[in-house]
Amino acid sequence: MDMSKLPPPESSIKKMFDLRDRNILITGGSGFLGLHFAEAVSEMGGFPILLASDDNEINEAVKKLNNNNIDCAFYTVDITKGDTVCDAVNDIKRKYNTIDVLINSAAFAMKNLIEGGKEFFNPFEEYKEDLWQIMLDVNLTGTFLVTQSVGKIMKKQKKGSIINIASVVAMISPDHRTYKPDAKYNYKGVSFNTPISYPVTKSGLLAFTRYLATYWAKDGIRVNSISPAGVYKGHDKKFVEQLSYRIPLGRMAFPEELKGGIVFLASDASSFITGENLVIDGGMSIW
What domains can be seen in the chain, in order of their start residue?
A: 10-173+197-237+254-286 (3.40.50.720)
Looking at residue 10, its pLDDT comes to 81
For residue range 220-253, what is the model confidence (pLDDT) as tens digits? 999 999 999 999 999 999 999 999 999 999 999 9
Of 135-139, 179-183, 245-249, give the lowest mean pLDDT range. 179-183
pLDDT at position 60 over 90: yes
Q: What was the pLDDT predicted at 111? A: 62
- Number of CB atoms found within 10 A of residue 3's CB: 6
Please state, as a whole number, how many other Cβ atoms lie within 10 Å of the Cβ of residue 221: 22
Nearest alpha carbon to residue 80 among 151, 146, 2, 154:
146
Q: Report the distance separating Cα 183 and Cα 189, nearest Å.
A: 10
The residue-averaged pLDDT of 267-286 equals: 97
* Structure confidence at residue 185 (pLDDT): 83
Q: Report the pLDDT value the prediction gives residue 116, as an integer from 0 to 100.
A: 52
Sequence-ordered list of residues with C-beta below 8 angstroms from that of 179, at least 6 positions apart, any chain? 189, 190, 192, 193, 194, 239
pLDDT classification of 113: cutoffs 50, 70, 90: low
Average of per-residue pLDDT across 183-203: 92
For 59-72, what is the mean pLDDT? 96
Q: How confident is the model at residue 53 (pLDDT cuts 50, 70, 90)?
A: very high
* pLDDT tens per residue across span 37-50: 999 999 999 999 99
User: What is the structure's pLDDT at 191?
Assistant: 87
pLDDT band at 8 (very low <50, low <70, confident <90, very high): confident
CA distance 3 to 244: 47
User: What is the overall mean pLDDT for the chain?
Assistant: 94
Mean pLDDT of 159-185: 95
Q: DSSP class of residue 111?
A: G
Share of the chain above pLDDT 70, in %: 97
Question: Which pLDDT score is estimated for 107?
Answer: 92
Answer yes or no: are the C-beta atoms of 52 and 112 closer than 8 Å: no
Look at residue 115 in the predicted model and tell me its pLDDT: 53
